[in-house]
C-alpha cells in the first residue's frame, strides 16, 4: 500500500518538531516532503542571540542536520519559497516551479518581523533580527562600522543590542515605553535590568518615538531621528519592534485567518486536510511567539496526523527568559496585578534581587523574578496547575526549599516538580528527560548532562535548575565527586596523577615510572604501556626513546589492519593536493604488489586496501622513494587536514584555504597524540571542508580566520566550539600548535579533543590559549621543539632493513 503524502511548508522549529513527534509514533505512515525558504537546515531560532554574541556558531544551533533528513527519507527543498496552494488538486507550488502533491498539508510559515513604516526604513544598513541572514548582516556591519541603534527594548531588542556590544559596537537602544520589556517585567525589575545593562556599556533612550531613518552621503543609513527633534548617529539600525504571523500563503488559498491562521484544538484549519502550527497560528484568538507553546502544538498536531485522534491543544501559559550572559530574569502570567489580586514583593536593589508573586484567591496568577530565578520553574508549575498556596503562603517568596516539612513538598526545591516541568526552554528539555539521562547513563556532572540532553547548553539561564535536578537525583553522590579512576589494574594512580608525576619528578623511562609509582606488575600491561609510552614521548621529546613494543599493531606496522588480517596503506597528501607524478607512483605500487582495492578516502587521500603484511616494508620503501611519507591513518596522531579550493579557484573563497591547510599539515604531521586528530580549513563560511566537526578547524572569512576546536564526527557528532578569531596565517599556526600541545600534555591517552574539552571546559582552554599570551607562546615553542623529533618518518630510516619476521614480535594488538 502506498504511503500517504505529507507536505510541510516551513522548515523551522514548529514544523520540524511536529515531524519529529510524528516519526516517533507513526514512522511509516507518510512520505514526507519539506519546503524551507531559507538555505539552512532546521536550526534553533532562539539561539540566534548567542550566535550574534559570538558565544555560539551557526553549526552549533542546527537542530537537524542534512543527514537527519536523509536518514528519515524526508524530501527536503531548501531555499524554495512556496507561493501557492491548489486545494482542489491538493498540490503546493514553489516560486521556482517545484510542485508537490499532498494528502495532508502542514503549514508552519512562522512570522515576519514588523518594520516601522517610516521614511528610510528601506535604506541599506537597516535590518531586522529574525534569521541567520539578519545575524550575518549584523556581524558583517559590526566588523566595519561603529554606531548601532536598536529600535525596540523588548526581549529580542535587548538580545540584539548585547550581541552587537560584544561584537565591539557602540549600541543605543531606543524604546517608546517608560521602561524596558514592559510586557515581561514591571518597573522595579526593569530598572534593575537597565542598570545591569548600562554597566555592560549599553545606552538607553526611553520614551522616544522614531519617525525617520536618515540617509547618509554613501546612501546608507547614518542617523535615527525622533519625534522630539533629537537624533543619534547610526551606521546600523536593527528593527526589533515585534512580529506578525505569516499568513499570506494561507490567505491566498482561501483559508480563514484572523491575525493568524485560525485553527481548532486539533490544530486543523478550516480545511480539514490542512493543519497549522507555530507563530503563524491563531488559536482561540491568541498567537504565540515563544517556543514552549509551539512544541505543545507540535505534539498535538503529530497525534492527529498519526490518526490517533486523542490529543487536544487548549492554549498555553508562557514564561520569559532573557538570553544575555550574566543576567537572570523570569516572568510569567499576569505579574502586573489588578483588581482582586494581591502582590507579595521582595526587593533588594543593592544585591540586584527582586521577586514579585501575584495571587488571586490564594492561587498564583503571575510572577516576576530578577537576579534569583532558581525557583522560576516551581512558580510556573504552581501557576499552570492552579495550586492553592494558602498553607505555605508565608514562605512563598522564599522558594520551594523553604517548604520544609509542611507536607507540600520536600526541602529540595526541584523535588516536587513534575517530570513534565520544562527546565530548558531553549531546547524543550523537561525534568523527566534529565532525570532519565542521569539515571540511565550514570551522569555525575553538569557537562555530562549538557552533552546527553542539551539542557543548559544554549543560553545557560537554566543552569541552576539543571544543577538542582542533578543534586536531587544523585543525593549524596552529587556533593562528592566521583572517586578517581585508576589508570589500569597495575596501579592505583589516575591518568592525571601519572602525567603529573612524569612532569614533576622528571620520570624519563618506563622503568622509572614503574619504580617511583610502585607499579603492581613489573612490566605493566597492554592497557598502561601504550599510555605510558605516549606520556613519556610527549613530555620528553628527544630524550625518551619510543618503545615500539608498547604500541598497537597499527602503529607498529604503519598500516591499518583490516578484518581479514590484511592492511591498508595511506600515503600522505599535503592538504589533499597531488600531481601526476605522485598518482603514477601510487598506481605503480598498486600494480606491483597486486593491491586488490584502491579507494579515495573522506580525508582527500588514496587508500590501498588488502596489502599483505609481508609486503608492507617493501611498499613503504617504494613509496618513500617517490617522496611519500605516512598518512598515519592508523595512528594516534594527526590524520588529515581537509581543505577546499578556497580563493584560488572558488568564487566564494575568501582566503587561500588550500595553502593554509598545507602549512598546517606540514607543521603538525607526525605528531603523536592521545588519540587521532583531524584538521580542516574551509575557504568561506559555507564550510565545504566541514571544519566545524574537526578537532581543530579553520573557517576563513573576509577579515581573517575563525578558529574552532573540539569537534568530532563519527557515531557521536560534536560540533566545535569557537575558540577565537585571528587576522593572519601566522596566528593560525601559532594558536593551532599551542592548542595541540595543551591537548598533548594534559589529555588522557585515548581521549579525543571533544571529551577532553567537555571535561576541562572551554573557558579553561581559552584562559590558556587566549588570555595567557606568554603561556601560549611557550606551548607553541614546546610543540615546535617536539616536532623536530616527531616528524621523522620511521619508514624512511627502517624500510630497507625491516623484514617481515619483525612483525611477529608484536605483543599489543588493536
Residues at the annotated binding site?
A: 644, 650, 684, 688
Q: How far, in Å, CA of 365 to CA of 383, rounded?
A: 6
Task: Report CA-CA distances (Å) from 144 to 151, 172, 332, 729.
Answer: 20, 17, 39, 21
Question: How far, CA to CA in Å, does 737 sit from each of 276, 553, 636, 692?
Answer: 52, 28, 17, 18
Q: Which residues are annotated as a binding site for [4Fe-4S] cluster?
A: 644, 650, 684, 688
Give the count of beta carbons closer than 10 Å to the beta carbon of residue 243.
Answer: 17
- The C-alpha cell of 813 is what? 594488538
Query: Rounded CA gap, 82 and 7, in Å?
Result: 11
3-class SS at 64? Answer: coil
**Could you tell me if 4 and 31 are in contact, meaning their C-beta atoms sit under 8 angstroms apart?**
yes
3-class state of residue 721 by DSSP: strand
Which among 399, 393, 462 has a CA at the least distance from the CA of 434?
Answer: 462
Alpha-carbon distances, residue 380 vs 318, 363, 364, 387, 456 (angstroms): 9, 12, 9, 10, 18
Indicate the annotated binding residues for siroheme.
688
* Rounded Cα–Cα distance for residues 230 and 210 (Å): 10
> Grid coordinates in use for 569?
596503506
φ/ψ region of 710 (left if φ > 0, alpha if ψ in -120 to 50, else beta) reads left
- Looking at residue 137, the DSSP 8-state letter turns out to be H
Reduced to 3 states, what is the DSSP secondary structure of residue 630?
strand
* Alpha carbon distance 108, 278 (integer Å): 6
E-strand stretches of 576-629: 597-600, 606-611
Distances (CA, A) of 417 to 326, 403, 423: 25, 13, 10
> ∠ CA(112), CA(118), CA(122), 5° rounding?
65
Count of C-beta atoms within a 10 Å radius of residue 356: 23
* Dihedral pair phi/psi, residue 732, rounded to 5°: -55, -45
Which stretches within 306-417 are classed as H helix?
376-385
Amino acid at each position: 500500500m502506498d504511503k500517504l503524502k505529507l507536505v510541510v511548508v516551513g522548515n523551522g522549529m514548529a514544523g520540524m518538531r511536529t515531524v519529529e513527534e510524528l516519526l516517533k509514533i507513526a514512522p511509516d505512515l507518510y512520505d514526507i516532503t519539506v519546503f524551507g525558504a531559507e538555505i539552512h537546515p532546521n536550526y534553533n531560532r532562539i539561539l540566534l542571540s548567542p550566535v550574534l554574541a559570538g558565544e555560539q556558531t551557526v553549526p552549533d544551533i542546527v537542530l537537524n542536520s542534512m543527514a537527519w533528513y536523509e536518514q528519515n527519507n524526508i524530501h527536503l527543498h531548501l531555499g524554495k519559497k512556496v507561493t501557492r496552494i491548489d486545494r482542489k488538486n491538493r498540490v503546493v507550488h514553489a516560486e521556482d516551479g517545484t510542485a508537490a502533491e499532498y494528502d495532508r498539508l502542514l503549514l508552519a510559515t512562522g512570522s515576519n518581523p514588523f518594520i516601522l513604516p517610516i521614511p528610510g526604513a528601506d535604506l541599506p544598513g537597516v535590518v531586522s533580527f529574525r534569521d541567520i541572514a539578519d545575524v550575518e548582516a549584523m556581524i558583517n556591519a559590526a566588523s566595519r562600522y561603529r554606531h548601532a541603534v536598536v529600535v525596540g527594548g523588548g526581549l529580542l531588542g535587548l538580545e540584539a543590542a548585547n550581541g552587537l556590544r560584544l561584537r565591539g559596537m557602540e549600541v543605543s537602544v531606543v524604546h517608546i515605553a517608560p521602561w524596558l520589556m514592559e510586557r515581561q517585567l514591571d518597573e522595579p525589575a526593569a530598572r534593575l535590568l537597565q542598570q545591569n545593562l548600562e554597566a555592560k556599556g549599553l545606552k538607553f533612550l526611553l520614551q522616544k518615538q522614531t519617525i525617520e531613518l536618515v540617509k547618509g552621503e554613501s546612501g546608507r543609513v547614518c542617523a535615527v531621528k525622533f519625534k522630539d527633534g533629537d537624533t543619534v548617529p547610526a551606521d546600523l539600525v536593527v528593527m526589533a519592534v515585534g512580529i506578525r504571523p505569516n499568513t499570506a500563503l494561507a490567505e491566498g488559498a482561501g483559508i480563514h485567518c484572523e491575525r493568524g491562521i485560525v485553527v481548532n484544538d486539533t490544530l486543523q484549519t478550516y480545511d480539514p486536510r490542512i493543519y497549522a502550527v507555530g507563530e503563524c497560528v491563531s488559536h482561540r484568538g491568541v498567537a504565540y511567539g515563544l517556543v514552549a507553546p509551539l512544541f505543545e502544538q507540535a505534539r498535538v498536531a503529530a497525534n492527529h496526523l498519526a490518526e490517533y485522534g486523542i490529543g487536544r491543544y487548549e492554549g498555553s501559559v508562557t514564561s520569559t527568559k532573557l538570553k544575555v550572559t550574566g543576567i537572570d530574569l523570569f516572568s510569567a502570567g499576569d505579574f502586573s496585578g489588578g483588581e482582586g489580586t494581591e502582590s507579595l514583593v521582595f526587593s533588594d536593589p543593592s544585591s540586584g534581587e527582586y521577586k514579585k508573586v501575584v495571587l488571586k484567591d490564594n492561587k498564583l496568577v503571575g510572577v516576576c523574578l530578577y537576579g534569583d530565578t532558581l525557583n522560576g520553574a516551581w512558580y510556573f508549575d504552581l501557576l499552570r496547575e492552579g495550586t492553592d498556596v494558602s498553607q505555605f503562603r508565608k514562605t512563598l517568596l522564599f522558594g520551594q526549599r523553604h517548604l520544609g516539612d509542611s507536607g507540600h513538598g520536600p526541602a529540595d526545591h526541584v523535588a516536587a516538580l513534575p517530570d513534565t516541568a520544562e527546565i530548558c526552554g531553549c531546547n524543550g528539555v523537561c525534568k523527566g528527560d534529565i532525570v532519565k539521562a542521569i539515571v540511565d547513563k550514570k551522569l555525575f556532572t553538569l557537562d555530562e548532562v549538557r552533552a546527553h540532553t542539551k539542557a543548559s547548553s544554549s543560553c545557560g539561564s537554566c543552569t541552576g535548575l539543571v544543577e538542582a535536578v542533578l543534586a536531587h537525583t544523585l543525593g549524596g553522590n552529587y556533593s562528592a565527586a566521583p572517586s578517581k579512576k585508576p589508570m589500569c589494574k597495575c596501579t592505583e594512580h589516575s591518568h592525571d596523577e601519572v602525567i603529573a608525576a612524569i612532569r614533576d619528578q622528571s620520570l624519563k623511562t618506563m622503568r622509572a615510572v614503574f619504580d617511583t609509582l610502585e607499579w603492581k606488575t613489573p612490566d605493566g600491561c597492554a592497557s598502561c604501556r601504550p599510555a605510558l609510552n605516549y606520556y613519556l614521548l610527549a613530555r620528553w621529546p628527544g630524550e625518551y626513546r619510543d618503545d615500539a613494543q608498547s604500541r598497537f599493531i597499527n602503529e607498529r606496522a604503519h598500516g591499518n589492519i583490516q578484518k581479514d588480517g590484511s592492511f591498508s596503506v595511506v600515503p600522505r597528501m599535503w592538504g589533499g593536493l597531488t600531481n601526476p607524478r605522485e598518482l603514477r607512483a601510487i598506481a605503480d605500487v598498486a600494480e606491483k604488489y597486486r593491491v586488490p582495492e584502491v579507494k579515495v578516502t573522506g580525508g582527500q587521500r588514496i587508500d590501498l586496501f588488502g596489502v599483505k603484511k609481508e609486503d608492507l616494508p617493501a611498499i613503504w620503501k617504494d613509496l618513500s622513494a617517490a617522496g611519500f611519507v605516512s598518512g598515519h591513518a592508523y595512528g594516534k596522531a594527526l590524520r588529515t587536514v581537509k581543505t577546499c579550493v578556497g580563493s584560488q579557484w572558488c568564487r566564494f573563497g575568501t582566503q587561500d584555504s588550500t595553502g593554509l591547510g598545507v602549512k598546517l599539515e606540514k607543521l603538525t604531521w607526525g605528531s603523536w597524540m592521545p588519540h587521532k586528530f583531524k584538521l580542516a580549513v574551509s575557504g568561506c563560511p559555507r564550510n565545504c571542508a566541514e571544519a566545524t566537526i574537526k578537532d581543530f578547524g579553520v573557517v576563513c572569512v573576509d577579515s581573517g580566520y575563525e578558529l574552532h576546536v573540539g569537534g568530532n564526527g563519527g557515531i557521536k557528532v560534536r560540533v566545535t566550539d569557537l575558540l577565537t578569531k585571528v587576522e593572519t596565517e601566522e596566528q593560525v599556526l601559532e594558536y593551532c600548535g599551542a592548542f595541540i600541545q595543551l591537548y598533548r600534555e594534559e589529555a588522557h591517552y585515548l581521549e579525543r579533543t571533544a571529551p577532553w574539552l567537555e571535561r576541562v571546559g572551554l573557558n579553561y582552554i581559552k584562559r590558556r590559549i587566549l588570555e595567557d599570551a606568554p603561556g601560549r607562546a611557550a606551548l607553541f615553542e614546546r610543540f615546535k621543539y617536539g616536532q623536530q623529533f616527531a616528524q621523522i618518518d620511521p619508514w624512511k630510516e627502517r624500510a630497507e632493513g625491516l623484514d617481515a619476521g619483525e612483525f611477529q614480535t608484536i605483543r599489543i594488538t588493536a
